[in-house]
Structure 1
């Protein structure tokens, strides 16, 4: 709550400063107009020089105020973005905490009911999840990692599972800068747009990275209700690239399941 109040007060302060600068600019521009009018209608050179000085000083002052106003607007924008980033980070941490609390409660339940045979397989499941989270955090593209974690928190109807069985540094692969993240975002957006959820329904999108000798494969598998014709056409439209950056390797369509594979050749 304190965090939100501080952010709100900072935003109010920035808006107040920009309004004050804008009001001051109006008066200074009025002085410039008065100076121009006086310069045109007066004849004595001393008075004309005086009006010229008024114009120069007022114009310079107006320019400096505009620079200050733009700087304040930029600082306010950065502050707002920082606050939003903080809130997203808090949401991710809360989601992780919630997942760990669920696992802890299940383990305590097995212990209380003395179902000790269930402890080992569940601990193995937790171990695999921890390894997946560790591999995810080491993908090497910070903005992409942040997107994947935030999507888990923000999306309600579509669950995104990233299967990273071994440690991969995508940032070190000889692939165009930002291409992996852009393609994943586009694929997720296409699937979200053409799902056919009803109340209480949801779907799952699995993403797996397959590093080969000559390129990287992005394997997408969606399970859930969807509009087949619309999604198939959207995939073909967005990902049937004739360029060298990526290729639509495979697409397979079934009732409530669709799989798409994109190949990103290495550029050496």
Structure 2
């Protein structure tokens, strides 16, 4: 956006010469030249801005496609590991372990389905892709009673919620540090309470200065119509509360 302003300012300044000429020699010809110059500058500015926007959209689309492919490959690798474990139990005749493995796979498939049905594409993609691109903080997601947000939030509220959740997770990531002995876990739970969506963050492990973490969370939801509540537990626990559209 800033580049657009500089481009527009540059072409605007280019009209200084014909304006100065017209003021110095206010003739009909000077007026015609000024009009032609202004129209040409406007058209060139519009074309250049459009070209930059198209290029930016193509780059963003390419990045998104690459991330989607990496996420799919990561999930495929995880599922292949689960199937290999199951196949090993079957070969060894360990029926009880095979049943446990199948139940674990079923629970994971159900959770992935719940996340996919949240109804906000950008948020769903981020949650599915988190394990592929983020390290240093383990994220577990839970969805209580099949929460579905489609039609319950305005487009602006959906964008605000997605941005806030990503920024809050980022705040937890940057707070404190994990070690081999003390791994950090963040559990994100989606639930409904009356006419509100609740996104609860429960951090286990070291998250540094909790006052600083709280401040970063409050900044993440500022002017977005989202309320922050601190839950008194042994962990760093906060809730984001967003009213539904009635």
Using structure 2 for the length normalisation, give the TM-score.
Answer: 0.76
Task: Provide the residue aligned with 1:177 in structure 2.
Answer: 157
CA separation in 2, counterparts of 1:133 and 1:81? 26
What does residue 98 of structure 2 align with? 119
Contact kept in structure 2, 1:202 and 1:224, CA below 8 Å: yes
How is 1:149-164 mapped onto 2 (pairs within 5 angstroms)?
A: 149-164=128-143
Secondary structure class of the residue paired with 2:194 = coil
2:197 maps to 216
Deviations 1:25-51 (A, max 9, x none): 99xx69x9489659957x9x8xx73x6
Distance verdict in 2 for CA 1:61–1:89, change over 3 Å: same
| Residues 230 and 237, structure 2, Cα contact 8 Å, conserved in 1 | no
Which TM-score applies when normalising by structure 1?
A: 0.70
* C-alpha spacing 1:52/1:156, structure 2 compared with 1 (3 Å): same
Query: Radius of gyration: which is bigger?
Result: 1
Distance 1:210 1:61 in 2: 56
Displacement of 1:165 in angstroms is 4.7
Confirm whether residue 189 of structure 1 aligns to residue 170 of structure 2. yes
Unaligned runs of 5+ in 2: 1-6
Which one of 251, 256, 260 corresponds to residue 232 of structure 2?
251
CA distance in 1, matches of 2:197, 2:19: 67
**Pairwise mapping of residues 16-165 of structure 1 onto structure 2 (< 5 A)?**
33=17, 40=24, 49=29, 53-165=32-144
Shift of 1:54: 4.5
1:56 and 1:174 mapped to 2: Cα distance? 48
Counterparts in 2 of 1:197 and 1:110: CA distance versus 1, 3 Å:
same
The structural deviation recorded for 1:208 is: 1.3
Aligned mates of 1:184, 1:168 — CA distance in 2? 16
Q: Which among 206, 209, 213 is matched to residue 187 of structure 2?
A: 206
Aligned counterparts of 1:120 and 1:95: Cα–Cα separation in 2: 25
Look up the match of 2:3. none
- The answer to whether the 8 Å contact 2:145/2:191 transfers is no
Which secondary structure does the structure 1 equivalent of 2:233 belong to?
Answer: strand
